Structure 1
Amino acid sequence: MSNATNASTPSDGTAAGRTASDPTTPDFRAMGAELEAGLSGLRRELHQIPELEFDLTRTQARLLQALDGLPLEIHTREGSSSIIAVLRGGRPGPTVLLRGDMDALPVAEQTDEPFKSTNGRMHACAHDLHMSGMVGAAELLSRVRDDLAGSVLFMFQPAEEIAGGAAEMLSHGLLDAAGDQPVVAWGIHEMPYPLGTVHVRAGAQMASNCQLTATFTGLGGHGSAPHTAIDPVPAVLDLGQQLQNLVTREFSVFDPVVCTTTQLRAGEAINVIHDTAYLGATVRAVSPEATEHFARRGVEVARSVAATHRCTVDAEFKVNCPTTMNDPVAAQVVLDIATRLFGAERVVEMKHPVMASEDFSYVLEKVRGAFLFMGALYPGVDPATAPQLHSPLARYDDAVLGDQAALLAALAWSGALPE
């Protein structure tokens, strides 16, 4: 890693940071409101330059420009678009990690926003707001740096959409960047919920992201004479049905699994029985135990189906990222701090996890913490009918950014989790 900027007064990790109830806690919400216009402008610039996966050169350059002048240690790495920034507080204390993802999607935007993307890519998952909120938190915490206990490690991550960026940054020493290992990690994701609302739960916040693939091989032949061939297509169709039976007969409704067959392929010619047929399915689960059980049984079922249909099969189960598991204490800290900042009417303790996935889960496997949602719908938009994440019509209100920066800063300020 390269060290571009140095700030003095390193922390020694000997004391926890202040709690949100400390009367000397800065008024982050009022401070965040002062930044809102600037953060909105940054977000709209980022929205117009969406980039994919690990190749985020323009995005990285704009973020480095936005962070320039703050008392941060900036770490970049050759061949990577990631950014790690470290803010050293003026008082001893632990290291806290904040994360924002950077990449966009290969989606052609269809909104009527005046700052819409025109390059065939789109920040349809609100990562432009995540980055901007992180910049805001860095500025807020820099303003109170002398009173900050410990260090804050800002993780600007590429390649979340392909579930590869967090693991890649971890493998290159993310958690060692501040010297002390982080004691808690926080992440925020905008959602199509009412503006400014905060949503979190203890335990599973989001599901694992897994996939089952199966390629069946039979014996090709003429479509008019299936009895002279071994047709792999019925095997693929059978497996699709058997996977639904697996979900409903081997998994509790209180530990849910979603298995959706999304790919079916055989040959091109309509009058040919082809040698091979392929099935691909996405699998989501909210516990490690359910993920592991499906991994074993999904492959077993595929092999059993192949034997029934006289085929061979190459079946594979892959975990792209595990369940996003919130530490119960960390989830309660979010509820408490968000309630103090915004009032109880804007805070929701979620009853159920979201079945989408998030590769911040890899960080939470190593560091206690929580991942939470913030609503960013324009006022008057019905959440029930609003375009969802990844839609080419997705629109999010950057008026949330002042509060988002304030919440991130307040979480970092709170330091270590209470015992």
Structure 2
Amino acid sequence: MHQDPELGLDLPRTQQRVLEALEGLGLRIQTGTGLSSVIAVLEGGRPGPTVLLRADMDGLPLQERTGLPFASRTGAMHACGHDLHTAALVGAARLLASQREELPGTVIFMFQPGEEGPGGAEPMIREGVLGVAGELPIAAYGIHVGRGPRGTFVTRAGTLMAGSANLRVRVHGAGGHGSQPVRAIDPVPPLLEIGTALQTMISREFSAADPVVASITQLEAGAAINVIPDSAALGASVRTLSPEATEHFGQLARRLAENIASAHGARAEVDWDIVYPVTVNDEQEERFAVAALRESFGAERVHESPQPLMGSEDFSHVLAQVPGCYVFLLCSPDVLPEGDLATNHSPEVLFDDAVLGDQAAALASLAHGRLLQAAQDDVRR
């Protein structure tokens, strides 16, 4: 998989590899109609509820620069470790299938494309992944690899990761000759003013206890250096930690852009697109996950983060409907000094796949342990 990443929602070769890896496990398999997803259902030998385990499968449009002998040379790269996620979920399926007879319930294995965009969780939910076992899962879990001491698990209750939104602003003016701006309505000055004002807006309109990050990552204006263009545009990636901040930012950004443009005699067109909601771990499921992982791997390897991350994740769509917990598994190689470690989404990032055994075992133990807990709760009742 690492040598052959695929992008977006259409991952036919990756999908085929997953299907081949699941052969012979006695799973009920369903593939997506509008995307290259795989849903596998394991029915245990004893009655009980349903738990969902999820892995994302897509890569990023980066040219890999790791120097690995199995590096991708396709112009795409698994720079966020989704190849490890997929392999680990296959491993979890094999572990749980080997314990089928003692399993009190059902496990859904959700192999999802498009996490890096345009988003695969929502389409899979629309195609029925949450109800494929006949009932809504009682819990959902996923594990994401990242930079840090190999073998360390990290999570937290409540908000774990930010919501993501895209802001696009296009200022419409009137083009003209570069030597005669007085005869034009130059859209560039108001656009630059809007970009600067957005940063000031964050510090004045949002509490430091509910932080917001806005990074302007795209700028567009004219093609000819001696022409004042008709329009100019910017694009920004915005991360928020609450639904209230998400809504408020969109409203304020629209008002700010329209008023600044109007002051220059121009007109602003604003597009506010909410990509992924905030990722929120259920408090009870987080407590269960931390306890289960500490029992399996030792307390020294499982940590709770004091604060959320500003990255985003479309597993948030699943956690909005099913209580669950998302966990990070750190897996940087030991041989590199800390300062040389590239981060996720870097063309030089390295993940030590020696963690795959633990990652698969962790996923399997979360599903198995949660079903056993539910069975015990039924006996007590």
TM tier, smaller: over 0.9
Residues 174, 185 of structure 2: 8 Å contact kept: yes
CA 1:365–1:79 in 2, change beyond 3 Å: closer, same or farther? closer
CA 1:163–1:187 in 2, change beyond 3 Å: closer, same or farther? farther
- Cα distance in 2 for residues equivalent to 1:161 and 1:243: 25
1:204 to 159, 166, 187: 159
Per the alignment, residue 137 of structure 2 pairs with 182
Task: State the Cα distance separating 1:321 from its structure 2 match.
Answer: 0.8
SS state at 1:258 partner: strand
2:113 to 154, 158, 173: 158
For 1:319, give the aligned amino acid: I
For 2:45, give the aligned amino acid: G
- Cα distance in 2 for residues equivalent to 1:399 and 1:259: 36
- Cα distance in 1 for residues equivalent to 2:107 and 2:151: 24
Per the alignment, residue 357 of structure 1 pairs with 312
SS state at 1:182 partner: coil
Work out whether 1:47 is the aligned partner of 2:2. yes
Q: Deviations over 1:199-250 (max 9, x none)?
A: 0011111111101111111111222222222111011101011100111001
Per the alignment, residue 242 of structure 1 pairs with 197
Per the alignment, residue 261 of structure 2 pairs with 306
Task: State the Cα distance separating 1:80 from its structure 2 match.
Answer: 2.9
1:83 to 23, 28, 38: 38
SS state at 2:325 partner: strand
- Cα distance in 2 for residues equivalent to 1:80 and 1:272: 44
Q: Deviations over 1:64-87 (max 9, x none)?
A: 111101021111134531000000
Paired residues, number:
374
Work out whether 1:138 is the aligned partner of 2:90. no
Per the alignment, residue 184 of structure 2 pairs with 229
SS state at 1:95 partner: strand
Map residues 185-334 of structure 1 onto 2, 5 A cutoff: 185-334=140-289
- Cα distance in 1 for residues equivalent to 2:65 and 2:292: 37
TM-score (norm 2): 0.95
TM-score (norm 1): 0.87
- Cα distance in 2 for residues equivalent to 1:340 and 1:204: 24
CA 1:383–1:254 in 2, change beyond 3 Å: closer, same or farther? farther
Per the alignment, residue 94 of structure 1 pairs with 49
CA 1:284–1:79 in 2, change beyond 3 Å: closer, same or farther? closer
- Cα distance in 1 for residues equivalent to 2:32 and 2:230: 47
Per the alignment, residue 111 of structure 1 pairs with 66
Task: State the Cα distance separating 1:133 from its structure 2 match.
Answer: 0.5
Residues 142, 327 of structure 2: 8 Å contact kept: yes
Q: Deviations over 1:31-89 (max 9, x none)?
A: xxxxxxxxxxxxxxx11121111221111111111110102111113453100000011
Task: State the Cα distance separating 1:380 from its structure 2 match.
Answer: 3.4
For 2:127, give the aligned amino acid: H
Per the alignment, residue 33 of structure 1 pairs with none
Task: State the Cα distance separating 1:384 from its structure 2 match.
Answer: 4.5
- Cα distance in 2 for residues equivalent to 1:358 and 1:383: 25
Residues 169, 269 of structure 2: 8 Å contact kept: yes
Residues 195, 379 of structure 1: 8 Å contact kept: yes
SS state at 1:193 partner: strand
For 1:246, give the aligned amino acid: M
Residues 30, 40 of structure 2: 8 Å contact kept: yes
- Cα distance in 2 for residues equivalent to 1:220 and 1:48: 48
For 2:7, give the aligned amino acid: L
Residues 38, 110 of structure 2: 8 Å contact kept: yes
Task: State the Cα distance separating 1:381 from its structure 2 match.
Answer: 2.9
- Cα distance in 2 for residues equivalent to 1:321 and 1:90: 37
Per the alignment, residue 122 of structure 2 pairs with 167
Work out whether 1:385 is the aligned partner of 2:340. yes
* Percent pairwise identity: 50
SS state at 2:194 partner: helix
Q: Deviations over 1:276-316 (max 9, x none)?
A: 01011110001111111101111111111111111111101
- Cα distance in 2 for residues equivalent to 1:374 and 1:120: 26
- Cα distance in 2 for residues equivalent to 1:414 and 1:163: 33
Q: Deviations over 1:312-364 (max 9, x none)?
A: 11101110111111111111122111111111111111111111111111111
Q: Deviations over 1:375-417 (max 9, x none)?
A: 1111133444311111111111111011111110111012268
